[in-house]
Every structure is written in C-alpha cells, then in structure tokens.
Chain A
Amino acid sequence: MIQEIIAFIILILALAFLIRKFFFKKKSDKNCGSGDNCGCS
C-alpha cells in the first residue's frame, strides 16, 4: 500500500514537471550564452 502511494506521488510529480516544462515555461531575461543550452530538451 505504501509502495503504491509513493509510486503515485512520483507519477504526479513527473506529470507536474512535464506540464510546467512545456506549458508553463518560465520567462527568462538572460541571454543564452556559453554552456547554457537555452532549455533545449
């Protein structure tokens, strides 16, 4: 039971991360310079 709860929490976190990454992307003022791949993948 505990395993299932933790697994589903991980699922929710994964979904939230992807939604935030692709649909609610933070706007950034900084220029993409060296070493920064500007959110690429």
Chain B
Amino acid sequence: MSLKNINVALIGNPNVGKTSVFNQLTGLNQQVGNYPGITVEKKMGFCKLPNNIKANILDLPGTYSLNASSIDESVVIELLLNKNDRLYPDVALVVTDVENLKRNLLLYTQIKDLEIPTILVINMADRMEHKGITLDIPYLEEHLKTKIALISSRKGHGIEELKNLIVSYKTISSEPCLNASSIDVEYFNSLRHAFPNQLLYKLWLVITQDVNFLNLERNEIHGSFTKSHSDLKRLQQKETIKRYQFINDVLKEGLKVDSSVAKDFRSKLDRVLTHKIWGYVIFFLILFVIFQSIFEWSKIPMDFIDSTFATLSTMASEHLPSGVLTNLISQGIIPGIGGILIFIPQIAFLFLFISLLEESGYMSRVVFLMDKIMRRFGLSGKSVVPLISGTACAIPAIMATRNIENWKERLITILVTPFTTCSARLPVYAIIIGLVIPDTYVLGILNIQGLTLMLLYVIGFGTAILAAYILNLILKVKGKTFFVVEMPNYKLPMFKNVAINVIEKTKAFVSGAGKIILAISVILWFLASYGPGKQFKNAEQIIKENTKAHPLSPTEFNNAVASQKLENSYIGLMGKTIEPVISPLGYDWKIGIAIISSFAAREVFVGTLATIYSVGGTDNETTIKNKMAAEVNPITGQKIFNFASGISLLLFYAFAMQCASTLAITKKETNSWKWPAGQLVFMSTLAYLVALIAFQILK
C-alpha cells in the first residue's frame, strides 16, 4: 500500500524545545541543508504516522512573530505565504513553552490567521506541577480554535498523541483568531474589495513584510495600497496589541498559576519576594538601603568635585587676564559645569542599584507586587513599568506606555508618570536635603538625610497613584486590561551589563542636561552681569555714599557692590518682579530665577544658583553648598535655606512639572496640546499650593 505524504512545519519561538520535538518525531531520519541562496540551516526529516501517512517534518528557524526582522524569520514567512512552494505545510505545529505561553501565543495567532491547519503544541508539560501551572485544555482548544498537544519533548511524553493529532489535521478548524479587518476597518475593506479572492491577513503580511514573495500580486498590492512606513508601523503595533488582548482574555481563564504549590527554588523565592506582606517589607528594606547608600557613599566624591570646581574657579579668576571673558569663565561656565558634575556620584549609584535589581530579575517581581496595589487605584499592572521607569526619566517612561492597550489607562499613566521621582530631581533634592536636614542618625544606623530622600520617592509614587485614582473617577475608565508579566529566572547580575548601563545612563544625564545647563549658565551670567539703569552702573558710587557714615573694609565693600549690581542687573530686576508671587513660599528672587530657568530641566536649578551666587556672592565661600548655606535674607536676617523654605522647595519640586521635554513627549503621545497643558497647570498649581502650605506651617 502506498504512503500518503504530507508536509508538517514545526514553528515556534527560539528556546521552546522545537528541535527536541523534531528529534522525537523524526528520530534518525533527518537531513540538514541550507535554504537556497542563504546560509540559514534547513532541517528536514520524516516520520511514519498511523493510517499510512508519511509526514515530511520541516524544522523552521525560531521566530518570535511573523513581523520579520532577520533572515531566519523571513524564511518562515516566505514559506507560509507561498502556496506553490513544495514544502508549503499541510499542517503547522506551533511549539510553545508552558512557562511562556503568553509570549509564544502571539506567533500562534498569526499562523492561525493564515488559515493553515494549526496544532498548538505545549511543550515542557513536565514542569507544570513544579511550577504550580494548570491548563484548562478544553477551554483553550475551544477559544484558540485548535487541537492542543500537551507534551514533554525532554521526557518523550505526549509524542504519540501528537502524531495522532497530525493524522487528523483535516478536522482542525481553520478559522482565524483575529479578524484582520479590525486592525483598520476602512483600509482592510478597500483591500478586500480590490482582492476579493485573497486572504486578508496574507495580503497584510505581503504589504508589511520585505520578503521575497514570488508572485506578481505583491507589486499590485503595493501600487494601490501604499502607506507610509510610520503608518504601517502604527498598524502593526495595533495588530500586536489586539493579539495580546485576545491572548490575555483566553489565558485569564485557561491558564492558572498557583505559586503556593510550586516546588522549585525559584518559586520558593518568588513566594517570599511577592508575598502580600513580606514582599512589601523586603521591597521597602531594599529601597531603604539604596537611598542610605546613595547619600553615604556619594559624600566623599561629591565634596571632592565641589571643591575642585571651586578651586578651578578661583584659579581662573586669578591667573587669566582680567576681563569679561575671564569673569564669564570663572563665574558662569565653571560653576555651571560644577553644578551638574557634582551629582555624577549619586546618579551613578542610583543607576547601579536599579541595574542590579533589573539584572537579577527582582524588578519583575516588584512589578508583579505593585500590580496588586495599582489595581486598587484603577490602573493596569502595565502602568507599573512606566511608573518605575519614571525614576530614571519620564520621557522613555511615557513612551513605554505604548504597550497599554486601553487608551484611557494609557492616558492616565502618561499624565501621572511625571510625579514619580526622576533622576533630574535628585540633584535638587540632594543639595536642599544637604542644607536643611541634619546629617544625623536615628537608632545609630538610620541616616535622616537618606530617610528624607526615600520619603520623597514614596511621595512621588504615592501622588502618582492617587492622581491616577482621581483621574480614573473623572475619566470613567471602562474595560480593564489584564496584566500578564513574564517572570525571568533569577540570575547573578553580569558585571559588564551593569557597568555599561551605569556608564550609559550617567553619560546621557551629563551630556543631555550638561549642555543645557552650560548654555543657561552663560545666559544667566550675562543677565546677572549687565543691568539697565543707574542703580547698576553707579553701584560703587551708591555704596560709597550709603556707607560714608560707617566705612566698610575692602572685602565688605566689594561684596556690597557685587550685591548692589546683582539686585539691579537684568536677572535681578526679573527676579524682583516675580518675588511677590514666590515670597509666601519662603523663596527670595534668586530662588525664583532658579525655578524659572529650571523649567527647561529640573537639574538646572542648582547650576543657576551656583552662577547667581558666583556673580553676586561673598568671597568668603567657595563651594556651591557653602554659598547656599551662607545666603541670608537682608530684611529678616534669617538664612534663606532654612528648614521651612527647604521643605517647601523639596515639596515644590516633588509636584511641579518643571520639564519642557516631558510636556513635548506628552503632546507627541496624546497628539494634543490639551493634555500637556492640563498636566502643566495641574502640577504647577498643586506644587505651589503644597509648598505654600508647608512653608506657612513650618516657618
């Protein structure tokens, strides 16, 4: 009796055990070659199945999706699109890993939509008990519209059942998972109208993938339905989101993970780290250690950088020929650069800890842990990722909201992310805390300054979720999305990865913020060194006349002249104009100028004060911190940076928007000025009111 030949394609993500399944099915009946014209390995084999069927098994290269980004992936797409290929599969086996089912199912849904009979092979079933995983196979089969083979290729379990399923491939539904039209109804309707006999999803792949599809229709499609690259990308993203929505809905019922019954070491560790009480305790202990260390370990290098720049500034004014340029260098540029470089140690330590947490796999547990809190405030667990990323910078964090499917949840996350404490706030916090919070210890080990910094981070995160809760009530979010996070294995952080991340992030901070600070320092120096009226031009004369009765020492006289000039300079006049608005918060006009200039970027605050104090300050103090500490209100005689004004400033920066780039990215992501304008008004008003209340209570 002659054998009936069928083609079987093995498709799956890398590392799902696809080759083990291939080996189990084919045994020694294998051939290895190359695909024509490329060096991608082609593995074929055959196996005899019941009912006199001989299956030609083709082990296709591992691919994450049908959106090709490598030659390996193009091979898969070309085969699946071309029905004339002699290897075109009669049935596709999509191999998945039971521990990473969500990610693996994306490819499955795409293959299924090509209307090829598809069997879902769930591999590594022997790990299910160990991991506390249970699958509702009938439910999954019904909703994924297929037959499922639960196997363990490592132990050879389920292979015979898989062979039986392959034999009955004709009974498998070819109904797609996703209605392709839902990606863009109008566009797909016109496609359907133009090509009534073609499969819509196949047409879509031909349009979007740069693969060698040997058919004339590709040119026809491209000619009539050309879209811009960015439009196609946007639609592809929409397609991926819709697929994950579908997968999430199916897995919510079909897959249960009970970590309490899992038995492996990772699960035991997960049970503690994601515990409803211990999980939070450990997380806060880790945060506590991080913030203590940031302050403790940074002290020596920060003091070194501060004094080095003070010395450089003095040297420049003493050794360079006197003149405008020398003053600009010694009073504007050097203090401005010093004002940003001083924070390198703290930024580096912050990113060192964040990298260690990410590399070790702990950060994913934090995301999972925080998801439970987020839900109570009406946000998706996916919002946690942008909120945690926001501790580095709000810009990439806001961009990271793109994977939130529900528009209103995404909008809320975009609007509240700037509340989380970004690295640009750190310099402001560090200098103010250093000035107004005593460097003392509670219980011998708890540094008050470190505790204050940690509290500010908690305030930032707390405000973000509280604001989200309020916005959630106002915007009436409907249709929650489900959050499925893939927990990576724990591993020892790789030194190289951590080092690269710390260097990259610190470099980005210094070069990105540094250039702006340098430019602003130059402008501020000019504004502080020139003035319009007689009060500025005749400063020396005025001071001489005012002090006739009580002559000053030469140093006192110089300081008085510098102060008179600064107050009547352009920047002084600007500062004096806004002073009535900010004085109820405990700030003088110099702080007011620093707040205005730091709207470009928060960290400009310190650089601005460094420049202003260098131009008009006393000669007795050289370092930025000492200059700020010595600043006194001429009317009250009180220190400008005292406990009340310091707390007021810390709270102001905790809540204020103060970042032009964040507003720009919010506009880009929401495609409207309405939201960034609202964000700016709300955050600025909140910051002003909280700072006002804090100062009025504490003064």
Contacts and interface: CB of A to CB of B under 8 A. Distances in A.
Interface of A: 2-4, 6-7, 10-11, 13-15, 17-18, 21-22, 25, 29, 32, 34-41
B519 A14 contact: yes
Interface stretch (B504-512, B580-588, B625-633, B641-649): B504-512
Given A3-B324, A6-B325, A7-B324, A18 B520 contact: yes
B328 A7 contact: yes
Contacts of B519: 13-15, 17-18
Given A3-B323, A14-B518, A18-B516, A36 B508 contact: yes
A35 B504 contact: yes
B396 A37 contact: yes
B324 to A, nearest CB: 5
A32 to B, nearest CB: 5
A22 B600 contact: yes
B393 interface: yes
Given A3-B324, A14-B518, A32 B523 contact: no
8 contacts: A3-B326, A7-B328, A11-B522, A32-B396, A32-B399, A37-B393, A40-B508, A41-B393
Which of B326, B500, B501, B526 has the most C-beta atoms of chain A within 10 angstroms of its own C-beta? B526
A38 B518 CA distance: 19
Contacts of A39: 395, 512, 661, 664-665
A14 B522 contact: yes
B532 interface: no
A41 B394 CA distance: 10
B504 A34 contact: yes
A8 B129 CA distance: 74
Contact of B325 (A3, A15, A17, A41): A3
A14 B662 CA distance: 22
Contact of B424 (A7, A17, A41): A41
A12 B312 CA distance: 25
B326 A37 contact: no
Contacts of A3: 321, 323-326
Contacts of B396: 32, 36-38, 40
B664 A25 contact: yes
B424 A11 contact: no
Contacts of B523: 11, 14-15, 18
Which of A7, A25, A32, A41 has the most C-beta atoms of chain B within 10 angstroms of its own C-beta? A41
B601 interface: yes
Interface of B: 230, 321, 323-326, 328, 392-396, 399, 422, 424, 500-501, 504-505, 508-509, 512-513, 515-516, 518-520, 522-523, 526, 600-603, 659-662, 664-665
B659 A41 contact: yes
Which of A2, A4, A35, A38 has the most C-beta atoms of chain B within 10 angstroms of its own C-beta? A38
Contacts of A11: 522-523, 526
A39 B398 CA distance: 13
The 3 A-B residue pairs with the shortest CB-CB distance in the complex, in nearest-first order: A41-B601, A3-B323, A35-B504
Contacts of B324: 3-4, 7
B108 to A, nearest CB: 26
A27 to B, nearest CB: 10
Contact of B399 (A10, A25, A29, A38): A38
A3 B518 CA distance: 19
Contacts of A37: 392-393, 395-396, 505, 508-509, 512
Given A18-B600, A29-B230, 20 more contacts: A3-B326, A4-B323, A4-B325, A6-B325, A11-B523, A18-B516, A18-B523, A22-B600, A32-B395, A34-B501, A36-B508, A38-B393, A38-B396, A39-B395, A39-B661, A40-B396, A40-B512, A41-B424, A41-B512, A41-B516
A6 B324 CA distance: 9
A2 B322 CA distance: 12
A26 to B, nearest CB: 12
A38 B395 contact: yes
Nearest to A41: B601
A22 B500 CA distance: 29
B438 to A, nearest CB: 31
A21 B394 CA distance: 18
B347 to A, nearest CB: 12
A15 B652 CA distance: 28
B240 to A, nearest CB: 14
Contacts of B321: 3
Contacts of B520: 14, 18
Contacts of B601: 41
A22 B523 CA distance: 15
Contacts of A10: 325, 328, 522
Contacts of B509: 37, 41
Contacts of B323: 3-4
A36 B392 CA distance: 11
A40 B504 contact: no
A10 B515 CA distance: 13
A12 B393 CA distance: 30
Contacts of B603: 41
Nearest to B660: A22
A12 to B, nearest CB: 10
Nearest to A25: B664
A24 to B, nearest CB: 12
A21 B325 contact: no
Contacts of B526: 7, 11
Given A17-B515, A41-B516, A35 B505 contact: yes
Contact of A35 (B230, B508, B518): B508
Contacts of A34: 501, 504
Contact of B395 (A4, A18, A35, A40): A40
A14 B666 CA distance: 26
A15 B325 CA distance: 17
Contacts of B399: 32, 38
B504 A41 contact: no
Given A14-B519, A18-B520, A18-B600, A7 B512 contact: no
Nearest to A10: B522
A22 B396 CA distance: 18
A31 B116 CA distance: 34
